[in-house]
Amino acid sequence: MSYYSSVYGLNIQLNEQVPGLAVEKSVTYAPDVCVHFGAMPPWFHADKFRREIWYIRPDQEPGATPRLIVWNLAALDHFHLKYADGTEFLIDKQGKSIWATWPEQSLTVEDTATYLLGPVMGFALLLRGCVSLHASAVCIENRAVAIVGSAGTGKSTTAAALAHIGYSILAEDVVTLQDLDNRFLVQPAYPCIRLWPSSVRALYGEHAELPRLTPTWDKCYLDLTQEQYQFQKSALPLAAIYILGERQDNPSAPMVEQLAPTDALISLIGNTYASYLMDKQMRAREFELLGRLVKCVPVRKVVPHSNPALINRLCQTIVTDFDELNLVEASVETRDHAVHV
């Protein structure tokens, strides 16, 4: 059985149904990426091929198994990824075919899908020449607004709070940028937001619960296909980026601060997705693209309050600032039109 879905602007064919992805059983288009769960290709035997270490992410405990090892199988034009829990992926260097296996006695396809939809697809996008931000994206006035931040800064919690007050969600965790030279489109991801239990309680109350992503992990998910939520299914132009700063007790927080283009560029470079897997060519592509992006898209720093109960005020601060940016942009366009007339 084959299943088909679209994520990050790519059409995907899978041999297993993945939780969180809207799937179809038949389509008329050719897939961009084929995903094979449960087995490696018959020709693949890791111990029989010469391979070079591409990347190692060590565990926090000295001497423990690395959290991730990536090997470059140069002669075969593939990369081999192995996580500390035994989950493995094989991906071709064109980002078109992905195989996945896992220890069936301790893990599930749902566990494997969390890797697939995050770092593995992030690497596939890099191999295909795409740059992505570690961010969430929300639709405001039919344009994409990215909320950028590293793990733990609250970008998913902020996206969920915006979803709760009626805004459509375009992407969560991976914001893929389609480069159109002088503008950028954000591609839709999948219709759910992943949240830790502490975020669920902060958003919905001490006794609130959401379904767990997998039977073996505490992380939950907010299903955006529910009637009270909206998922943006088509790409939108990127109109602003908000970088989440450190939480503060300052009475003025949440607040928005301007960023100089150089500071904006440095912040975005530090928040691209799967950047640890980039080679020199990918890094050069990233730097060139982000350099153009900060010239045409406003990048702002937003400072949340340390009190999680003020999450709705943070959302309103972002929306209000974006409205003000729109007014300035509209004024400039009107002035420029008058000058040309």
Pairwise CA distance, residues 98 & 41, whole Å: 10
State the span(s) of the chain assigned CATH 3.40.50.300. 131-340
Beta-carbon contacts of residue 186 (< 8 Å; ≥ 6 apart):
137, 144, 146, 170, 171, 175, 176, 177, 178, 235, 236, 237, 238
- 142-182: pLDDT as tens digits: 999 999 988 888 999 999 999 999 999 999 999 999 999 88
Predicted local confidence at residue 9, as pLDDT = 93
Pairwise CA distance, residues 241 & 182, whole Å: 16
Token digits for 164?
């709760």
Instruction: Quickly list DSSP for 21-68.
Output: ---BS--SSPPSEEEEES---TT--GGGS--EEEEEE--SSTTSPPSE
Compute the residue count for the chain: 341
CATH code that applies to domain 131-340: 3.40.50.300
Q: Which residues of the chain have pLDDT under 50?
A: 331-332, 334-339, 341
Token digits for 301?
């720093």
- 11-47: pLDDT as tens digits: 999 999 887 788 887 788 889 999 999 999 998 876 7
- The conformation of residue 20, written as its DSSP 8-state character, comes to T
Which is it for the CA torsion 231, 146, 14, 37, positive or negative? negative
Torsions phi, psi for 320 (to 5 deg):
-65, -45
Q: What is the pTM of this model?
A: 0.91
- 149-160: pLDDT as tens digits: 888 889 999 999
Pairwise CA distance, residues 41 & 20, whole Å: 26
Residue 271 has a CB neighbour count (10 Å cut-off) of: 22
Q: Provide the mean pLDDT of the chain.
A: 90
